[in-house]
Amino acid sequence: MDIGTSSVRASLYDQQANPLPRASVKVTTSFRSTPEGGFEIDPDDGFSKVVSAIDSLLEKTNKLKAEIEYVAPCAFWHSLVGVDAQGRAATAVIPWTDTRSAAQAAALRRRVDEAALHARTGCRIHPTYWPARFCWFAERDRKTFRRVRR
């Protein structure tokens, strides 16, 4: 299962990791972009695309005489979804392509020793990494920032 910014793809493979013929589906996803560098995916729509991909793959392969033994997911390289106290998405899915926090990343670089931070955490200061995004939400969308618990 590959959950990406352009589509959700699901495929079946044999025990030697060979793709099974005609055992693959692709469900196109949609996103909203903004002039200031925003790139968002609605979490409910994204979830429904994952469900649709799984259902379509199972329907397409329902005649196979085998069981699915393992599931390997891959999803949204360093993305962020804020979750509220009830466990519901409080933000859109903010994938790697969202660059709205570039100014916050620059401000963080002026405030902290990036080399020391990288040595301690493995994370550089970058608009796609969470520290800059947390700062962006705190500055630009305080209401959402206060709702998010995880």
User: Bigger pLDDT: 12 or 78?
Assistant: 12
- When pLDDT is cut at 50, 70 and 90, the band that residue 90 belongs to is very high
pLDDT tens per residue, range 106-122: 999 999 999 999 999 99
Phi, psi of 125 (to 5 degrees): -80, 120
Q: With beta carbons less than 8 A apart as the criterion, state whether 125 and 132 touch.
A: yes
| Domains (range + CATH), the chain | 2-147 (3.30.420.40)
Among 13-27, 66-80, 124-138, which stretch is predicted with the lowest mean pLDDT?
Answer: 66-80
